[in-house]
């Protein structure tokens, strides 16, 4: 009787470990299919190319103070965030696609959103207006166009 209980516990423990390893492999495949294989797929799914995605992840890591806590990489956090925005997906859909719980998806969506908000000075820059008395030749055509248009 004791032998059977311990063998059942061992089998269940091994099965659980195998499921966790399978889930981690699936997560890696999903992330790889989105951001590492093809620019067309990346643009279709996340609305930006691979280079832009990597630059955004780097900015969020350094300037946006987004942290990798060992559970989810920054790339996966940003991919989930962009996928939600690109496809107006629900929490359950993203949780299923990335094999994460709804709470995890929501938590990391909010942390990436906060990181993007911290980048507002970098991402949303304002430009100086050209004054009326500007002597630069490049802007003369625009002044004439604006005067005739309005």
- Structure letter (DSSP) for residue 40: H
What pLDDT, on a 0 to 100 scale, did the predictor assign at position 12?
A: 59
The 3-state DSSP class for residue 47 equals coil
The pLDDT of residue 134 is above 90: no
* Arithmetic mean of pLDDT, 96-124: 93
What pLDDT, on a 0 to 100 scale, did the predictor assign at position 37?
A: 77
What pLDDT, on a 0 to 100 scale, did the predictor assign at position 80?
A: 95
Give me the residue spans of the domains in the chain.
Answer: 2-125
Percent of the chain with pLDDT over 70: 73
CA distance 1 to 11: 15
Min mean pLDDT across 4-8, 26-30, 67-71, 138-142 is at: 4-8
What pLDDT, on a 0 to 100 scale, did the predictor assign at position 36?
A: 76
The structure tokens listed for 97 are: 């696609």
The HSE-up count of residue 43 (CA atoms within 13 Å, CB side) is 5
The 3-state DSSP class for residue 131 equals coil
Residue 74 in contact with residue 68, Cβ under 8 Å? Answer: yes
Instruction: State the pLDDT confidence band at 150, using cuts at 50, 70 and 90.
Output: very low
Higher pLDDT, 132 or 86: 86
């Amino acid at each position: 009787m004791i032998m059977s209980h311990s063998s059942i516990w061992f089998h269940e423990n091994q099965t659980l470990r195998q499921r966790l390893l399978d889930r981690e492999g699936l997560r890696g495949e999903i992330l790889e299919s989105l951001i590492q294989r093809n620019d067309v797929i990346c643009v279709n799914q996340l609305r930006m190319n691979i280079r832009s995605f990597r630059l955004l992840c780097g900015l969020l890591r350094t300037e946006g103070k987004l942290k990798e806590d060992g559970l989810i990489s920054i790339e996966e956090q940003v991919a989930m965030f962009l996928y939600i925005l690109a496809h107006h997906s629900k929490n359950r859909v993203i949780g299923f696609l990335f094999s994460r719980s709804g709470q995890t998806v929501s938590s990391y969506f909010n942390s990436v959103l906060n990181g993007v908000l911290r980048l507002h000075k970098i991402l949303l820059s304002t430009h100086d207006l050209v004054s009326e008395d500007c002597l630069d030749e490049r802007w003369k055509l625009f002044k004439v166009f604006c005067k005739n248009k309005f």
